[in-house]
Amino acid sequence: MTQAALSGKNYVVTGANSGIGLFSARRFAELGANVALVCRNEQRGHEAVAEIIATTGNENISLYLADFSSLASVSEMADKLLRDISKIDVLCNNAGGANGSREVTDEGFETTFVSNHLSSFLLTKKLLPAVLNAANDDLARIVFTSSYGHFNSALNFDDLGLTQGYSTLKAYGRSKLMNLLTARELQHRLRGKNVVASSFHPGTVRTPIWNKGGMLARLLGLALYPFMKSIGQGSDTFVWLASSEDQASKGADGHYFYEGKRAETAKFATDEDAKRLWQISEELIAPYC
């Protein structure tokens, strides 16, 4: 793509102050997009904005703050975004993490469940009018960062908060399954609206997430480090789904991708579960809409 390929388009990237979020946001800025970074830490967010402006020369970079473990915080931030940006061409749902032990937020949700799924679901629902507004002029896109980890475990709809049998890998894997299913059901609901939803696996990437999942995650990250992808390599499919003019990316249609190609999903990643998860998620976020 040319240097100004995304000129005039508005991108929103969550989890944008490090890892593939920061790399991808920088790439969108290089291509001329107006990029809104959604970050949790104000200082790191400002540093990311400054770094992107300095390296790309694109000054149309803004910062929005939200704690994705709090639906109230995400809802408030979404309202600010909507006041500032009437058209969102691409929403990149990338924020997330892993927790070494089971924790419950002040709002009563297991932390991985709310940080990796419910908050991005809420954000997508609230920003959808701006996405549809952009879709009146050109193809709009919504991309979810999922993971091969979604193969770890099927959903238990009687225990989405993992009160029984919690483990870091199970909680993380289930949340990534939820991202994949949300993209699929979203595409179903937006059929004919000129919006493409998709999800992807970045690969095993050298990002800070390996330091956030407790001792097991740190040891696993240490063992796998020599074989991991660079952040740039892990971002390739993300950037492709969010910006490419290739027919494959423009026709992603709710599918799950890896290395620029449609990838296999777990057999338990069913359309029925996608619909059920959507309905339950809508009920849970209702007080914050």
Residues labelled catalytic: 172
Burial letters 103-134, b for 16+ CB under 10 A, else e:
eebeeebbbbbbbbbbbbbbbbbbbbebbbeb
Q: Is 122 helix (H, G, I), strand (E, B) or coil?
A: helix
Question: If DSSP states are collapsed to H, E and C, what string results for 211-275?
Answer: HCCHHHHHHHHHHHHHHCECHHHHHHHHHHHHHCCCHHHHCCCCCEEECCEECCCCCCCCHHHHH
* Kind plus residue range of the DSSP H or E element containing 179: helix 168-189
- Rama region for 256: left / alpha / beta (φ>0; ψ in -120 to 50; rest): beta
| Cα–Cα distance, 236 to 268 (Å, whole number) | 27
